[in-house]
Amino acid sequence: MSSYADLLRTRGVARIIAAQLTARFPFGMLSLAFLLHIEHTWDSYGVAGLVLAALSIGQAIAGPLTSRLMGRLGIRPVIVVTMIVCALGIATIALVRLPVPAAMAVAFVAGLATPPVQPAVRTIYPKLVNSRQLTPLFSLDASAQEIIWVLGPVIATVAATQVSTVAGILLAVAFLVVGGTWFVASPEVGRVRIPRSRRKLGVVLKKPAVLLATIVGFLLIAACAAIEAGVVATFGEGGVEAGLVLAVFSIGSLVGGLSFGHRPIGPWALALRMGVVFVGTALAALWLNVWWIGALLFLAGVGIAPALAVMFAIVSSSVKFSDTAEAYGWVGTGQLIGAAVGSAVAGFLIDGVGPTGAFVAAAGIALIGFLVPALGRRWHPDLRGREAGPIPDTEPVTVTS
């Protein structure tokens, strides 16, 4: 733990972590807040699903595009403009009763304008700390983001049920604006300029480590989404057990990230962490008892934040600094698509065979998530004794004689 204490004492690290978590916090609230508001407004979960799908599609498309724009226009202008557009779109859905197609269009635009805070901050990290501290910093970041998924749904539910569904959404907008403003006002953001990439959009995916992180991130988040659907189907949407089990799942990830995230990253690192997720999920599927599921999902969660930290580190070490934001944008897009696919697969299986089907699906996806990095370990950078920072950009220098 001393390595994390040293990190937080490093100038700017605690501030930038807190600011980016606040800016990203609304996205732990919005799914549930939109679900409650739209179901209340239209009396239809189907309409809520369509609006949320439009939001997710917009976010998935935006990932690499807005991240790449930061190299052309700068971090602050891109985040400020996208923050304003996203906040207006979300507020419109809360305050104006629109026809369903119009609500979907507004949600799509809001998703497309999701501020690229996550790619930005992971591009900034190598400029804040030395190479020895970078892997623990990625782990601390992956662990800290569990706060979003533990507290976000709780705050959204309390605001929506105790005040109004409109209040729940507007509270998310407030977090977005305050957190985004805090982030762009941070001096660390102003000190970093992302060089303009000379490559075409998508070329960064030819880097084996980036493609590996994108695929495994897709599988990891798909498994997590299937687990969440299975837990809700097992204990009911309003059951306190579902909330407690999902909280334990996230706490397991937090514990795992803080306990193991600082370990050296070898070629088997990602496969081993995904193996922990698979074992916990597979065992949880054997008995749908709250104590059994809670204990085994805690075990599964122990592998999540360390796996994410490995993905961030191998991406950072494999691309030029000018390509890091776009690379993280692709990884984020893979995770968003994974969340949609995992939820959809689990939903069909829940309807067909019951909640057990969702856990079996999650275990199957996690198994593939273990096999992919195990079989592709030769494309996994060995960072033991190596720097995890990005490759410096170089360009011709004119010499006068």
Q: What is the CATH number of the domain that holds 365?
A: 1.20.1250.20
Residue 396 pLDDT: 43
Quote the Cα angle for 35-40-45, to 5°. Answer: 50
How far apart (Å, rounded) are the C-alpha atoms in residues 347 and 229?
7
Same domain, 180 and 219: no
* 68 is a domain residue: yes
Q: Is the dihedral of CA 229, 235, 237, 243 positive or negative?
A: negative
Among 165, 191, 217, where does a domain finish?
191
Give φ, ψ of 21 to 5 degrees. Answer: -65, -40
Angle between helix axes 165-185 and 146-162 (nearest 10 degrees) is: 140
Same domain, 224 and 126: no
> What is the extent of the structural domain holding 324?
202-386
* 2 is a domain residue: no
Q: How far is the first Cα of the chain from the last one, in angstroms, to the nearest whole number?
A: 54
**Which amino acid is residue 324, in one-letter code?**
T
How far apart (Å, rounded) are the C-alpha atoms in residues 197 and 212?
21
How far apart (Å, rounded) are the C-alpha atoms in residues 47 and 266?
46
Same domain, 280 and 138: no
Same domain, 152 and 208: no
How far apart (Å, rounded) are the C-alpha atoms in residues 76 and 89?
20
Q: Which two tokens stand for residue 365?
A: 């996806």
Closest CA to 230 of 25, 43, 372, 222: 222
State pLDDT tens for residues 205-262: 888 989 999 999 999 988 988 888 788 778 865 556 777 887 888 888 888 888 876 6
Residue 389 pLDDT: 57
Beta bridge partners of 391: 320
Same domain, 170 and 304: no
Same domain, 147 and 226: no
* 401 is a domain residue: no
Helix (H) or strand (E) holding 7: helix 2-9
Q: Which residues of the chain have pLDDT under 50?
A: 395-401
What contacts 182, CB < 8 A, 6 or more positions away? Answer: 18, 19, 22, 23
Same domain, 358 and 222: yes
Same domain, 13 and 131: yes
Give φ, ψ of 390 to 5 degrees. Answer: -70, 160
Place of tokens 């733990």: 1
Same domain, 69 and 97: yes
Pair 4, 140: CB distance under 8 Å: yes
- What does pLDDT average to over the chain? 84
156-165, Cβ contacts within 8 angstroms, sequence gap of 24 or more: 156/28, 156/29, 156/30, 156/32, 156/33, 156/36, 157/32, 157/36, 159/33, 160/32, 160/33, 160/36, 160/37, 161/36, 165/33, 165/36, 165/37, 165/40, 165/41, 165/94
Same domain, 71 and 130: yes
Q: Which two tokens stand for residue 390?
A: 């990005």
Give exposure, 258-271, as e/b (b: 16+ Cβ within 10 Å): bebbbbebebebbb
State pLDDT tens for residues 47-84: 777 887 888 889 888 888 888 888 888 899 999 999 99
Same domain, 186 and 134: yes
Among 191, 226, 243, where does a domain finish?
191
* 1 is a domain residue: no
* 83 is a domain residue: yes
Distances (CA, A) of 208 to 194, 204, 211, 213, 378: 22, 9, 5, 9, 9
Residue 105 pLDDT: 95
Same domain, 60 and 93: yes
* 4 is a domain residue: no
DSSP 3-state assignment of 395? coil
**What is the number of alpha carbons within 13 Å of residue 168 lying toward its C-beta?**
27
DSSP state of 320: B
Closest CA to 152 of 33, 14, 302: 33
Q: Which two tokens stand for residue 376?
A: 């592709």
Residue 278 pLDDT: 96
Give φ, ψ of 274 to 5 degrees. Answer: -70, -30
Among 191, 219, 243, where does a domain finish?
191
Greatest Cα pair distance in the chain: 78
How far apart (Å, rounded) are the C-alpha atoms in residues 147 and 153?
10
How far apart (Å, rounded) are the C-alpha atoms in residues 283 and 278?
9
Q: For the chain, how many structural domains are there in total?
A: 2
How far apart (Å, rounded) are the C-alpha atoms in residues 275 and 310?
14
* 313 is a domain residue: yes
* 318 is a domain residue: yes
